[in-house]
């Protein structure tokens, strides 16, 4: 299935998920272990993001108020609209956790039905929910009704699926149609089987089969979107209304801005300059330092700098400097040392951050 070139999606127009209006058709995926508040804000500031979601949240843990869950669910006014993704199985308190999420800032509740990782999919939910469609539809009905009552109808419930557990069980089209009947306002489909994990190639054509199966709700395509050009390609191949970007954003958080420009003008905006990429890295450090513990800042940037570096040429010294930096101040000095002689100062490093680093 292919989408005509004049469809709203391929013009870069936003769309509604139930009562929630998205300004663009591009969504940041709830990337497990990486989608913290700082990164979500960074991607939004780079431009083009219509919706960003938290890291997946264990429904039982959020109700217990564990410190990790509270940190993962943190949001604020710079992080809107914010979706919160919950996972659990048919016997877990997902409806109660959905109400908790609304009370803690969620403007959309997403149910994880696609996580392939063993510790989730073999016991706690995720792709496990693909294996019993009837029970999963009943669970969806309970969550939708709970959210409708608690939010007075203002918060939609969505689901994120895989194609099925394996190629012998292609359940996504019928499950998506059933979920629509249960009140689910949109489905995101990752074009892989659970058994694939993240190997192989995402099957965009089978995402198109899900588009054909539902009646009116939007389908959001996901999988192997690593470059801006992949966004219109996925839309054309599947007919999906929106595109969710996951791992491709980790090295290029500006992918949303460039993809949106391509959709709206037909021309691919230029890649950020070397200085702009340095600014983005510095801003990432600043946001991490503002919202997270120092240990998280250092751990996060020591891994992320290798991903940033893939688009920056020969920057071994920059990567080593960040990896070996003992504190945030040293990280910022390393970044500033990489300015070119004709470059401007890194404007994204705020005076407040400088003062906080000097006092630490």
Residues catalogued as catalytic: 115
> Which residues, 6 or more positions from 346, have their beta carbon under 8 angstroms from its beta carbon?
275, 278, 279, 282, 335, 336, 339
Give the closest residue to 29 by CA, choosing from 199, 137, 176, 189: 189
Q: How far apart are CA 92 and CA 109, in angstroms?
A: 16
∠ CA 256-260-266, nearest 5°, is 140
Q: How far apart are CA 206 and CA 266, in angstroms?
A: 26
Strands annotated E in 167-269:
187-193, 219-222, 242-245
E strand or H helix at 53, and its extent?
A: strand 51-53
Separation in Å, CA 309 to CA 126, 315, 334: 32, 6, 14
Separation in Å, CA 159 to CA 121, 172, 188, 278: 15, 11, 6, 36
Residue 84 phi, psi (nearest 5):
-120, 125
Q: How far apart are CA 3 and CA 45, in angstroms?
A: 29
> Which residues, 6 or more positions from 135, have their beta carbon under 8 angstroms from its beta carbon?
90
State the pairing for strand pair 57-58/82-87. parallel
Per-residue burial over 176-210, b if 16 or more Cβ lie within 10 Å, else e, is bbbbbebbbbbbbbbbbbbbbeeeeebbbebbbbb
* DSSP for residue 5: T
Q: How far apart are the first and last CA of the chain?
A: 57
């Amino acid at each position: 299935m292919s989408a005509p070139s004049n469809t709203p999606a391929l013009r870069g127009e936003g769309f509604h998920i139930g009562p929630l209006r998205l300004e663009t058709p591009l969504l940041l995926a709830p990337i497990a272990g990486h989608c913290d508040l700082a990164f979500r804000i960074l991607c939004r500031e780079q431009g083009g993001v219509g919706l960003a979601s938290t890291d997946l949240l264990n429904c039982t843990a959020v109700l217990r108020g564990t410190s990790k869950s509270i940190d993962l669910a943190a949001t604020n006014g710079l992080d809107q609209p914010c979706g919160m993704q919950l996972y659990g199985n048919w016997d877990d308190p997902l409806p109660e956790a959905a109400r908790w999420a609304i009370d803690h800032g969620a403007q959309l509740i997403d149910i994880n039905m696609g996580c392939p990782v063993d510790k989730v999919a073999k016991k706690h939910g995720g792709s496990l929910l693909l294996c019993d469609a009837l029970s999963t539809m009943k669970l969806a009905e309970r969550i939708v009704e709970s959210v409708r009552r608690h939010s007075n109808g203002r918060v939609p419930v969505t689901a994120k699926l895989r194609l099925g557990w394996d190629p012998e069980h292609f359940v996504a089209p019928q499950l998506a149609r059933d979920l629509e009947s249960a009140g689910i306002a949109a489905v995101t489909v990752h074009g892989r089987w659970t058994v694939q994990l993240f190997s192989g190639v995402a099957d965009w054509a089978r995402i198109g089969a899900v588009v054909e199966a539902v009646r009116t709700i939007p389908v959001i395509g996901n999988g192997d979107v690593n470059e801006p050009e992949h966004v219109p390609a996925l839309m054309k191949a599947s007919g999906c209304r929106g595109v969710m970007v996951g791992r491709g954003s980790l090295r290029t958080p500006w992918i949303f801005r460039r993809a949106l420009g391509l959709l709206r003008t037909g021309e691919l905006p230029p890649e950020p300059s070397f200085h702009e990429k340095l600014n983005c890295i510095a801003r990432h450090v600043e946001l991490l330092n503002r919202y997270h513990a120092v240990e998280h800042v250092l751990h996060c940037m020591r891994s992320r700098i290798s991903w940033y570096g893939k688009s920056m040429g020969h920057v071994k010294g920059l990567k080593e400097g960040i990896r070996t930096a003992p504190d945030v101040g040293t990280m910022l000095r390393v970044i500033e040392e990489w300015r070119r002689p004709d470059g401007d100062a890194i404007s994204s490093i705020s005076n407040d951050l400088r003062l906080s680093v000097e006092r630490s």
